[in-house]
Amino acid sequence: MLKDREQQLKNKLKNLIKEFGYDNSTKQFVMDEFKSRNLSSLRAAWVFSENLDLDTLVNSEEDAQFLFIFSLAFNKALKEKDNDMLSDYQSYFTPVEITQWENYQEEKENEDIFPYNFKDVQEIVSGKQWQTKLTIQQFNELYNVLLWNPNSQRGFKVTKKAIRINEDPNKVKEIAENILAGTYYPDHIKINIVKDENKPIYNPKTKMLTLREGTKLNIWDGQHRKSASALVLAENPNIDFMWPIDITNLSEIETHNAMVQVNKQTPIKEEVISPKDYSKNENLVLDKIMDKHGDLANATKDTDAFVKSDRGLVSKPIIAEAIKDNYTDLRLDMNRDNIAKWIEEFTNYLMGVYSDEFIIFPYETKRTSYINNLNMFYGYIALSAVLKDNKDWKELLKQKIKSIDFSVDNPMWREIGIIKENKIGKPTKNKLYKLFKEV
């Protein structure tokens, strides 16, 4: 490191941390960078919490490497927010250091842990649910095989560049500190063995549950505790601590049902949990639509966050709500199946006729038109209900779309209450229904 510039960098970092370090997404971005390099993110977390004073980093290569990677990661995080205040971070280091550390990744041994045996396992539901306990060290052995699957997560974060678990670094840090202090109550971590992949083998005599090679594991309740465990072991590798573990062998839909049950005790954001509640008939119709993988299914994502980050056009809660509002005969599975097939046919035609707006250039279209605004899908579902069983529906659909000026400059949308990329309330929704039902 360039010694004449070392203090300048430390001072600059401290000022930037004071200004931007409060933002959880920035902290998480920096911590994720360390994790991606197989490095402990504990020191990075401590810098943000001021438990580590940068001035205590002195003349060791390890400290210089940490400063480089921290600066690199912090710069990336700031650039996500269109901030270039740390873009000169390389000027504080030698060319050799830059070459060595720019893409540095800690070597790890190949972690082929399968077949893996859980010992002292109690079977709760035959072939579906088991319980055991693991030391924090044993649990951490599973760190890299506990895969992230957004369809079996209780929450996730969406940006234009990534879809990732919605992990709060402050919460991770708090859990880690409490474990280290001996004040954390160990609550159950829930792991799902993805159904129909490789069924686990349970031996009731030895009470051993064996996971075979190729088994896919999802952690659907315990992500913060997983990350906290890694931080704890970086600080105290020999700590005496146990995690109670629930293990299931469920499909994604069965996992969703379990989430709904857990949510009654630990609430999840309504927009995440509501489409997973299969006691609601509209969600069963939505599920059938999503299974068909048509144009509407491809454009429909879990939450509005996907839409705001240009990863989709509409959210599942909006489609489900529109189905509930406009279709009344949802109690019989036969009717739900027919409605799902009809909505798929209707929207495939709509989005095919206007393919530039919905499929080819959807996000460019948003700059000038509300035709693919997430709230407009309330209107399209309402229109589909009006035109169902009408032999001239295709022509009537085209006439209706042509009759509407979708331009963002059209004052009608302000009068109705459309706000770009924000889900509307009931009064505005009813105005849209009225507009689209007048055929």
Encode pLDDT of 155-211 as tens digits: 445 444 444 455 678 888 889 999 998 989 888 898 888 765 568 889 999 999 998
Domain range for 43 is 3-101
Statement: residue 254 has pLDDT above 50: yes
Whether residues 12 and 73 fall in one domain = yes
pTM of the entire structure? 0.46
The answer to the question of residue 107 being in a domain is no
The answer to the question of residue 328 being in a domain is yes
The answer to the question of residue 40 being in a domain is yes
Statement: residue 77 has pLDDT above 50: yes
The answer to the question of residue 272 being in a domain is no
Residues 230-255, mean pLDDT to the nearest whole number:
85
Q: How far is CA 369 from CA 80, 302, 364, 365, in A?
A: 27, 23, 9, 6
Whether residues 166 and 209 fall in one domain = yes
Amino acid at 248: T
Whether residues 403 and 368 fall in one domain = yes
Percent of the chain with pLDDT over 90: 43
Instruction: Quote the mean pLDDT of the chain.
Output: 84
Band of residue 364 on the pLDDT scale cut at 50, 70, 90: very high
Whether residues 180 and 245 fall in one domain = yes
Whether residues 307 and 362 fall in one domain = yes
Whether residues 237 and 193 fall in one domain = yes
Radius of gyration, CA atoms only, the chain: 26
Output the pLDDT for position 257: 60
pLDDT in tens, 196-235: 556 888 999 999 999 887 677 888 788 889 889 988 998 8
Whether residues 125 and 192 fall in one domain = yes
Q: Which of 12, 245, 304 is nearest to 119 (CA)?
A: 245
Output the pLDDT for position 159: 47
The 3-state secondary structure of the chain reads: CCHHHHHHHHHHHHHHHHHHCCCHHHHHHHHHHHHHCCCCCHHHHHHHHCCCCHHHCCCCHHHHHHHHHHHHHHHHHHHCCCCCCCCCHHHHCCHHHHHHHCCCCCCCCCCCCCCEEECCCEEEECCCEEEEEEEHHHHHHCCCCEECCHHHCCCEEECCCCEEECCCHHHHHHHHHHHHHCCCCCCCEEEEECCCCCCCEEECCCCEEEECCCCCEEEEECHHHHHHHHHHHHHCCCCCCEEEEEEECCCHHHHHHHHHHHHCCCCCCHHHHHHHCCCCHHHHHHHHHHHHCCHHHHHEECCHHHHHCCCCCEEHHHHHHHHHHHCCCCCCHHHHHHHHHHHHHHHHHHHHHCHHHHHHCHHHHCCCECCCCCCHHHHHHHHHHHHCCCCCHHHHHHHHHHCCCCECCCHHHHHHCCCCCCCCCHHHHHHHHHHHHCC
Band of residue 110 on the pLDDT scale cut at 50, 70, 90: very low
Statement: residue 265 has pLDDT above 80: no
Output the pLDDT for position 163: 41
Last residue of a domain, one of 219, 240, 263: 263
Are 427 and 381 spatial neighbours (Cβ–Cβ below 8 Å)?
no
Whether residues 43 and 124 fall in one domain = no
Whether residues 311 and 359 fall in one domain = yes
Last residue of a domain, one of 229, 263, 297: 263
The answer to the question of residue 109 being in a domain is no
Percent of the chain with pLDDT over 70: 85
Whether residues 195 and 125 fall in one domain = yes
Whether residues 91 and 147 fall in one domain = no
Residues 334-339, mean pLDDT to the nearest whole number:
92
pLDDT in tens, 372-393: 999 999 999 999 999 999 999 9
Whether residues 297 and 419 fall in one domain = yes
Residues 338-356, mean pLDDT to the nearest whole number:
95
The answer to the question of residue 79 being in a domain is yes
- Counting the structural domains of the chain, the total is 3
The answer to the question of residue 395 being in a domain is yes
Band of residue 40 on the pLDDT scale cut at 50, 70, 90: confident
Beta bridge partners of 242: 135
Output the pLDDT for position 161: 44
Last residue of a domain, one of 67, 101, 135: 101
Output the pLDDT for position 121: 93
Residues 137-146, mean pLDDT to the nearest whole number:
84
The answer to the question of residue 44 being in a domain is yes
